[in-house]
């Protein structure tokens, strides 16, 4: 038996299901490439519904030397009961994926306890179990105080600490993570890197999509993915880091070259006890255990607080204020923005084909994170100029209609207000907004969402999003409470989302802009446990391509 001091953050209570995500399977492995230490190239240095889970096991990633159970115990300060010389080729928290070479982590969850499935894993040939209590099973067992807390470090050890071979750039915050991740990926490509992407919309290896389920994958899936990236020749990764991922320990064992913070506003209070807990979860990324340096947008109070409280050096980023990384000469246009980006005393002209002032902020943050990780900021600026759009983020739907249609993932009060404000730059007419709120999620933000929608629209339609197990009418009534607080703006309730989109399009005339918000890139709608195909973009195209008489009539009326 071997004991060692535990590595990682303070233990948190875990309310995660024992069921696992789908395995992430990448291309055939190629020889590993180690990344040289990052150097400063820029001028600024820091101043301070569920989808089905596959039951077939994937082959463990190639590894030069498989770790023994004793090595895993030393990494997390656990003790081995049984033979500590058995070697581990992979680690899973899904008993269906356990088998020869693949150890099974018996993680307790909200609805099931992984210890109950240890027998299945042993029957399937697992070489070892990771447990919180010793089980009556004929397999070596690594006992730890908390399987969830240890999982990230264990998975990193099993896969040879792949993040140490990669330049991993992490982005956290409420809004803007996805766009910033895509901007970072483009910056890395322009700088001559071979990047991977891990995020909400998709996961990509060398530009090729691979299966993924969550914004931040489970710890075992994440380390397996990073290993496959490293073995396939990826040298850098742009990665969204969610508050759930941080609170549940999914990124433990991951080393970031640099991290960034976009903003913080109300969201996920169904998971976090309050805004303070939500902030603390995000702030945990700005710690030497994860990264040596960071960049923080200080345009909101939480960003300013984080810039002071971070325990790693950070650069301060602002769209409007004279901070270390800033913008000047901002020109907002319907098809994008132009501005001059300042990184300390150095500056670069940036042409961004993404509309909205918030995308100026996203671009500045991407430049600051890239610079902090040693990426040439001039190359990064050229890279982000090549992004033509991000799925479900201010995404245009154009079927030749005389008005603009935008689909956006905005699903917080702040993001809804920001998108509607930006939409007014698209056309001189009225702004028509369509929005719903998800069921089984943060209930407190629903009135705020309704108020933001009605306040930012000339005409608003409250509708369903993903009601999940809740009554859609109850969700809409909560939204309506906020809508009623806004005087002088027209709005209505239409529970059927397709019908709501149709009404918005029929109401629009030349020069107007329709914003369909809340679901963005999503391609399904979950109602009472059933996910039916539903894509706001496809629905809007179908309605517009159907040449609705009301749309044609309105285009002729010049309204």
Torsion, Cα of 541, 547, 551, 555 (10° steps): 110
CA 382, 386, 392, 396 dihedral sign is positive
Say whether 242 counts as a known binding-site residue. yes
Q: Is the pLDDT of residue 288 over 90?
A: yes
Say whether 61 counts as a known binding-site residue. no
CA distance 83 to 98: 18
The pLDDT mean for the chain works out to 86
Say whether 250 counts as a known binding-site residue. yes
Please count the other Cβ atoms lying within 10 Å of the Cβ belonging to residue 388.
8
CA distance 231 to 34: 10
pTM of the full structure: 0.81
Say whether 415 counts as a known binding-site residue. no
What backbone torsions phi and psi does residue 388 show, to the nearest 5 degrees?
-95, -10
Tell me the three state secondary structure of residue 455.
helix
pLDDT band at 83 (very low <50, low <70, confident <90, very high): very high
pLDDT band at 63 (very low <50, low <70, confident <90, very high): very low
CB 80, CB 2: distance < 8 Å: yes
Least confident residue range of 56-65, 222-231, 528-537: 56-65
CA distance 199 to 415: 18
CA distance 233 to 253: 21
More confident residue, 311 or 30: 311
CA distance 363 to 514: 25
Say whether 215 counts as a known binding-site residue. yes
* Chain mean position to CA 197: 10
Per DSSP bridges, beta strands 395-396 and 346-352 are unpaired
- Structure token pair of residue 497: 């989302």
Tell me the three state secondary structure of residue 456.
helix
**What secondary structure does DSSP assign to 333-396, as a single string?**
ETTEEEEEEEETTEEEEEEESS-SHHHHHHHHHHHHHHHHTT--HHHHHHHHHT---BTTBSEE
CA distance 387 to 357: 16
CA distance 152 to 281: 16
Topology (CATH level 3) of domain 162-386: 3.40.1190
Say whether 303 counts as a known binding-site residue. no
Bridge partners, 317 (sequence order): 297, 325
Say whether 31 counts as a known binding-site residue. no
Tell me the three state secondary structure of residue 295.
strand
CB 249, CB 217: distance < 8 Å: no
Per DSSP bridges, beta strands 325-333 and 314-318 are parallel
Say whether 195 counts as a known binding-site residue. no
pLDDT tens digits for range 360-388:
999 999 999 999 999 999 999 999 999 98
pLDDT band at 213 (very low <50, low <70, confident <90, very high): low
pLDDT band at 428 (very low <50, low <70, confident <90, very high): confident
Say whether 468 counts as a known binding-site residue. yes
**Among all chains, which residue has been given the structure tokens 């040449």?**
547
In sequence order, the 6+-apart residues with CB closer than 8 A to the CB of 427 are 334, 403, 404, 511, 512, 513
pLDDT band at 20 (very low <50, low <70, confident <90, very high): very low
Say whether 216 counts as a known binding-site residue. yes
Bridge partners, 328 (sequence order): 340
Decide: residue 119, CB within 10 A, 0-12 exposed, 13-18 middle, 19+ buried. middle
Topology (CATH level 3) of domain 395-545: 3.90.190
CA distance 545 to 375: 44
CA distance 429 to 488: 17
Short-list 133, 24, 155, 146, CA closest to 81: 133
- Structure token pair of residue 372: 């902090």
- Structure token pair of residue 408: 């956006």
Short-list 488, 438, 439, CA closest to 460: 488
Say whether 465 counts as a known binding-site residue. yes
pLDDT tens digits for range 303-358:
999 999 999 999 999 999 999 999 999 999 888 999 999 999 999 999 999 999 99
Tell me the three state secondary structure of residue 294.
strand
pLDDT of residue 64: 55
Say whether 203 counts as a known binding-site residue. no
User: b vs e for 189-204, b when ≥16 Cβ sit within 10 Å of the residue's Cβ?
Assistant: bbbebbbbbbbbbebb
Say whether 180 counts as a known binding-site residue. no
Say whether 95 counts as a known binding-site residue. yes
CA distance 508 to 431: 9
CA distance 260 to 369: 6
* Helix, strand, coil percentages for the chain (3-state, nearest 5): 30, 20, 50
CA distance 426 to 511: 8
pLDDT tens digits for range 32-48:
222 222 222 232 322 22
> Which CATH architecture does the domain made up of 69-158 adopt?
3-Layer(aba) Sandwich (3.40)
All structural domains of the chain with their residue ranges:
69-158, 162-386, 395-545
In sequence order, the 6+-apart residues with CB closer than 8 A to the CB of 474 are none
CA distance 392 to 413: 17
């Amino acid at each position: 038996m071997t004991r060692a001091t535990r590595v990682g953050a303070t233990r948190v209570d875990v309310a995660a299901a024992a069921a696992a995500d789908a395995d992430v399977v990448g291309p055939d492995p190629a020889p590993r490439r180690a990344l040289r230490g990052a150097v400063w190239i820029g001028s600024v240095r820091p101043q301070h519904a569920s989808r089905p889970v596959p039951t077939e096991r994937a082959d463990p990633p190639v590894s030069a030397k498989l770790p023994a159970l004793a090595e895993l115990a030393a990494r997390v300060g656990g003790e081995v009961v049984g033979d500590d010389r058995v070697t581990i080729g992979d680690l899973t928290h899904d008993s269906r994926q356990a088998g020869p070479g693949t150890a099974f982590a018996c993680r307790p969850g909200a609805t099931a306890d992984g210890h109950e499935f240890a027998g299945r894993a042993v029957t399937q040939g697992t070489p070892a179990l990771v447990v919180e209590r010793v089980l009556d099973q004929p397999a070596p067992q690594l006992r730890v105080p908390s399987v969830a807390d240890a999982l990230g470090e264990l998975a990193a050890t099993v896969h040879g600490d792949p993040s140490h071979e990669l330049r991993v750039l992490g982005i956290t915050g409420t809004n803007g993570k996805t766009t910033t991740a895509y901007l970072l990926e483009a910056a890395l490509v322009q700088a001559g890197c071979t990047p991977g992407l891990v995020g909400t919309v998709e996961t990509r290896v060398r530009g090729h999509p691979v299966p993924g389920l969550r914004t931040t994958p489970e710890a075992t899936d994440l380390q397996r993915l990073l290993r496959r990236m490293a073995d396939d020749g990826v040298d850098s990764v742009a990665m969204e880091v969610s508050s759930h991922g941080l609170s549940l320990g999914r990124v433990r064992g991951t080393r970031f070259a640099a991290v960034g913070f976009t903003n913080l506003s109300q969201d996920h209070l169904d998971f976090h006890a309050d805004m303070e807990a939500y902030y603390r979860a995000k702030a945990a990324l700005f710690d030497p255990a994860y990264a040596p340096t960071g960049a923080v947008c200080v345009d909101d109070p939480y960003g300013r607080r984080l810039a002071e409280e971070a325990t790693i050096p950070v650069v301060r980023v602002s769209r409007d204020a004279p901070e270390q990384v800033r913008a000047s000469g901002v020109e907002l246009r319907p098809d994008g923005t132009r501005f001059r980006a300042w990184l300390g005393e150095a500056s670069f002209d940036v042409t961004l084909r993404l509309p909205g002032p918030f995308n100026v902020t996203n671009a500045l943050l991407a430049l600051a994170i890239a610079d902090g990780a040693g990426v040439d900021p001039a190359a990064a600026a050229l890279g982000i100029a090549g992004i033509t759009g991000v799925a479900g983020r201010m995404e245009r739907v154009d079927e030749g209609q005389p008005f603009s249609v935008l689909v956006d993932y905005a699903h917080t009060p702040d993001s809804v207000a920001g998108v509607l404000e930006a939409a007014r730059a698209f056309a001189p007419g009225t702004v028509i907004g369509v929005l719903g709120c998800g069921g089984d999620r943060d209930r407190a933000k629903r009135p705020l969402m309704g108020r933001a929608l009605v306040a930012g629209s000339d005409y608003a339609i409250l509708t369903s999003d993903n009601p999940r197990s809740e009554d859609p009418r109850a969700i809409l009534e909560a939204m309506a409470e906020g809508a009623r607080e806004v005087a002088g703006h027209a709005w209505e309730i239409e529970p059927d989302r397709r019908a709501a989109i149709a009404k918005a399009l029929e109401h629009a005339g030349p020069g107007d802009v329709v914003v369909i918000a809340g679901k963005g890139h999503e391609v399904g709608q979950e109602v009472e446990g059933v996910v039916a195909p539903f894509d706001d973009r496809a629905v809007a195209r179908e309605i517009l391509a159907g040449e609705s008489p009301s749309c044609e009539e309105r285009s002729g009326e010049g309204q």
